[in-house]
Amino acid sequence: MRKLLLLLLVVVLAAGCVNEPGIKEKKENVPDTYAPGFAYEDLGGELWSLEALRGNVAVLYFWTASCPVCVRKIPDLALLQEQLSEDVHLLMLNASDSAGKIQNLIGDSNLTVLVNTMDSFNDYEIAYVPTTVFIDKEGKVDQVHVGLLTNEKMLEIIENLR
pLDDT digits (tens, 9 = 90+) for 39-58: 999 999 999 999 999 999 99
pLDDT digits (tens, 9 = 90+) for 100-126: 999 999 999 999 999 999 999 999 999
Q: What is the DSSP letter of 33?
A: P
Percentage of residues in the chain having pLDDT higher than 90: 78
pLDDT-derived band at 162, boundaries 50, 70, 90: confident
10 Å Cβ neighbour count for 26?
10
Minimal CA–CA distance to 98: which of 113, 110, 119, 120?
113
User: Domain range spanning residue 47?
Assistant: 2-161
What is the distance between the alpha carbons of residues 138 and 51, in angstroms, rounded to a whole number?
A: 10
**Number of structural domains found in the chain:** 1
What is the DSSP pairing of strand 88-94 with strand 112-114?
parallel
Mean pLDDT over residues 68-96, rounded?
Answer: 96
pLDDT-derived band at 13, boundaries 50, 70, 90: very low
- Which amino acid would we find at residue 105? L
Whether this prediction's pTM lies above 0.75 is answered by yes
Q: What is the CATH number of the domain that holds 107?
A: 3.40.30.10
42 burial type by CB count under 10 A (0-12 exposed, 13-18 middle, 19+ buried):
middle
The pLDDT value given to residue 33: 83
pLDDT-derived band at 25, boundaries 50, 70, 90: very low
Helix, strand or coil, per DSSP, at residue 15 = helix
